[in-house]
Each structure stands twice: as C-alpha cells, then as structure tokens.
Amino acid sequence: MDLNKASEVRAEAEGLFSADLSAEWSVGDKPHGGYLMAVLTRAALAAAGGDRDPLAVSCEFLRPPEAGPAELRTEVRKQGSTVSSIGVALEQHDAVRVTGTVTAGRLPDEEPAWAELPEFPVEPGPDALEFNTEFEGPSKIGWYMDTRFARHNASLFTDRKPGDPLEYRAWFRSPDDHPDIFFALVAGDMLPPLPFNLGHIGWSPTVQLTALLRAEPAPGWLRVQGNCRTVAGNWFDADATVIDSRGRLVCQARQLALLARKR
C-alpha cells in the first residue's frame, strides 16, 4: 500500500482523528516506528491547519500498537507565524501507545549555506543487495519501496556472519520516484538495527525517536547512512542521515532502542 494512503488520517472531532494502521507497513506483526511517526505527523499538521511542513518530530513508543483502527488526540500548544508546536497521542483499546510532539513551520527552499555530509554514490551500484532477493527478515516494508543495501559492512546479509563495524548504507526509492517529506521521515528509520553486526539479531524495539526534517526531497533515490555510537547494557543508539539525489540533507534521525539478545 502506498505510504500516503497507509498513513492518512480522518478528522472525527476537534483535536481528534482516526486512522487505520496498515499491516503492510510493519515489522513482524507490529507497525513500523517511522511509519507511526508519519501517521502522528499527519494528525498534528491537520490539527494545526494543514498548511505547515514538519520540521521536527519526536516520539516515545510506550506500548506496541497493532494493525487496525486507532485514534489520535492532538493538542495545539503553540500556533505561531514561524513555528507551531502540536502534541499528539496514538491510542488503541483505551491505552496510549505512542506519544509525540511535532514542530511545524516552513521547510527552506534555498540551498544550504554550509553542510558536512557523508559521501557515497547517489544511486546503488550493480553489486548492491536487493531487499526482496537478498535480505530475509520480518520487515514487510521493503516490498513497498525499492530498497538496496551497500555491501559495505553487510557481511551479515551476504554470508550470515556478524562482525562488521556498526555502520550501514542503503538507498530507498518511492514507487513513483518522487519521495515527499513523509517518505524521508520513514527512511530515517528504515535501516536494520545496527547491533545486528554484533550478533544481537532480533526484535530491537525503539523507545524514543527524534527526526529533524531539513528539506523537501528531490526526485530519485534517498541514500541513508546509519551509525551507532555506543552499545551499553540493554541499550543502543542509532543515527541516520538521509540525503536526496541533489546531495541535500533531508532528514536526521536519532533513536534509543533496546538491544536484542545475542545469538
């Protein structure tokens, strides 16, 4: 199912929206975190008037939701000429599952005055790993976008042996080749958990995820580099840098997640 269709929300009352969480945008039987952020963001923008862009989205994942009907309760905390702030909570079965804050305004049109970004090819090369043929896992999302992984640090996927440094590179392309800001938001959470390369392979639930949206993406591939700074105790962090085909930063995402048991 198309991301825009899967993440749409419906106004039910002032500050209240409904959504049907898609089973297709899931990891295992749980809706994907980046996809849930897109749903919350759509509700927040609609509550603020629908004429703003998302600039920052911060979510706490309290309990895993499930595919099916959900309610989203919003609170416009500030409605400014430059910046608005909207709180939003996703509820299912009378329990809050995800809470978030969306900072809304206008994405810049001009080229950046300064940028320091990782350098790697704009498009995947012929040796890139295709999600649908090379990567077997519980995620279903790769079937709804063109997904390629660099062989760089990907021996886990090629010979099923962990041990590479905790860095992944990947490319994602929307079905119509015209990614929007919501596609960029989801791309910031699309990489496999980085501690897979240490042998911690399994469900690694996100606890907190913050994404900064920096520009409307240009047509073509989005390239993403993911890095981990520290794995300690039951926790790890993950940073994702999302760059569009023009070489502009379109999304920065950072999350704190629980470590899967080591196999």
- Alpha-helix residue ranges (DSSP H) falling in the chain: 3-6, 33-47, 131-134, 155-159, 181-187
Q: Nearest CA to 185 among 175, 195, 172?
A: 172
Neighbouring-strand partners of residue 204: none
pLDDT attached to residue 27: 85
Other CB atoms within a 10 A radius of the CB of residue 62 amount to 14
| CA distance linking residue 249 with residue 263, whole number of Å | 36
- If you search the block for the tokens 């000429």, which residue do you land on? 81
- Does the predicted TM-score (pTM) go above 0.85? yes
What sign results for the dihedral spanned by CA atoms 15, 44, 103, 226? positive
- If you search the block for the tokens 């390369």, which residue do you land on? 197
pLDDT attached to residue 131: 73
pLDDT attached to residue 120: 92
Boundaries of CATH 2.40.160.210 in the chain? Answer: 3-105, 129-258
CATH fold, domain 129-258, is: Porin (2.40.160)
12 near 47, Cβ under 8 Å? no
pLDDT attached to residue 143: 62
pLDDT attached to residue 51: 87
Q: What's 3-105's CATH class? A: mainly beta
Coil vs helix vs strand at 160: coil
pLDDT attached to residue 133: 45
Mean pLDDT by runs of 10 across the 263 residues of the chain is 94 98 90 97 94 96 96 97 96 97 96 94 94 54 80 80 91 95 97 93 94 98 98 97 98 97 78
pLDDT attached to residue 134: 44
